[in-house]
Amino acid sequence: MVKSKPPRGRRDAGRPPDRHRRDSRTHEAHASAGGASGHRPGDRWLYGHHAVAAAAGNPARRLERLLATANAAERLKRDCPGAVAEIVERPAIEAVLPPGAVHQGLALLASPPAVPSLEELLDSLPQDALLVVLDQVTDPQNVGAILRSAAAFGVRAVLVPRRHAPPVTGALAKAASGALEHVPLIEIGNLDRALQKLKQAGFWCLGLDAAADRSIADAKLDRRLALVMGAEGSGLRRLTAERCDLLVRLPTRGPIATLNVSNAAAVALYELSRGAGGA
């Protein structure tokens, strides 16, 4: 049920989680370890209907503050009946968010959900699991969009290197459109060692490379798969490409033969989901 409360002061906006939450492996740890210099307290807020509704309905999160306009609160009540919001005007929401945030009348401050370590993840996966590994994809909009596609096509987790990935902010969560609540975003200390662990766990590491000889549609993929993708423009780094078991490309044609990395991920995951590698 949504009810009205008087808004609290700005001092509460950047309030950290309780002390016992700080020791868990969480998205918060990812943000602090990811080299996010200038990471402001306001960036901890989630905003936008889909991101807020999904997080508010996730029992693994502890909700600290939920700000909503009257109209947004009514919309939220349909998707998340148990959410209790402070009814405020739009300026009160904009005051706690980064400039220009498209919040749709909603802002949520919540503890991040715990995420497993890579070892814990590998111990829990079924034999037909599909993973995504990102090699220095640093744009939060791209990472968020990839998470959204990952959720749509049954990916079990997205792995990112600790030092070359964006912090988990409201912008990334909004681009993910609720997928952060369903697909763990797991940071790894060393990409090369992580790929070796995946291989030891029976994964076939499939690198997406526009210069590859073989199309992803022609590859015979009937095992555990980890789709490895590089940054837009530079693509996979040389060492990462060498660690992959197979390099494939998308069967694009025409004057523009490459796609944005998040679009390429969606196309590749669709193709993989049609075969035995789909989750």
Q: What is the DSSP letter of 225?
A: E
**Domain-embedded: residue 59:** yes
3 within a domain of the structure (yes/no): no
Indicate the pTM of the whole model. 0.81
Task: Give per-residue burial for 70-108: e unless 16+ CB within 10 Å, then b.
Answer: eebbebbbeebeebebbbbeeebbeebbeeebebbbbbb
What are the distances in angstroms from CA 133 to CA 55, 185, 191, 238? 24, 10, 9, 15
- Residues 145 and 167 grouped into a single domain: yes
Q: Where residue 156 sits, what CATH number does that domain have?
A: 3.40.1280.10
Domain that holds residue 16: 10-110
State residue 42's pLDDT score. 58
Q: Are both 266 and 150 inside the same structural domain?
A: yes
14 and 87, same domain (yes or no)? yes
Domain final position from 70, 91, 110: 110
Same domain, 231 and 141: yes
Residue 175 lies in a domain: yes
Query: Are both 125 and 214 inside the same structural domain?
Result: yes
Note whether 244 and 128 are same-domain residues: yes
Do 80 and 157 belong to one domain? Answer: no
Q: What is the pLDDT of residue 12?
A: 38
DSSP string, 101-128: ---TTEEEEEPPPB---HHHHHHH--TT
Could you give the number of structural domains in the chain?
2
Check whether residue 67 and residue 150 sit in a common domain: no
| pLDDT score, position 275 | 63
**Predicted confidence pLDDT, tens digits, the chain (279 residues):** 444 444 443 333 333 444 333 333 333 333 333 333 334 545 689 999 999 999 999 999 999 999 999 999 999 999 999 899 999 999 999 999 999 999 999 999 999 878 999 999 999 999 889 999 999 999 999 999 999 999 999 999 999 998 888 999 999 999 999 999 999 999 999 999 999 999 999 999 999 998 899 999 888 787 799 999 998 777 899 999 999 999 999 988 878 778 899 999 999 999 998 764 333
Identify whether 1 is part of a domain.
no
Q: Which two tokens stand for residue 231?
A: 């940054």
The last residue of one of the domains, among 69, 87, 110, is: 110
Residue 5 placed within a domain: no
Q: Are residues 217 and 249 in the same domain?
A: yes
Same-domain status, 145 and 212: yes
pLDDT reported for residue 20: 35
Same domain? For 56 and 146 the reply is no
Q: What is the pLDDT of residue 221?
A: 81
Q: Does 279 reside within a domain?
A: no
73 and 38 within one domain: yes
Residue 209: inside a domain = yes
Contact 183, 236 (CB under 8 A): no
> Does residue 63 form part of some domain?
yes
Of 90, 110, 130, which residue is a domain's last? 110
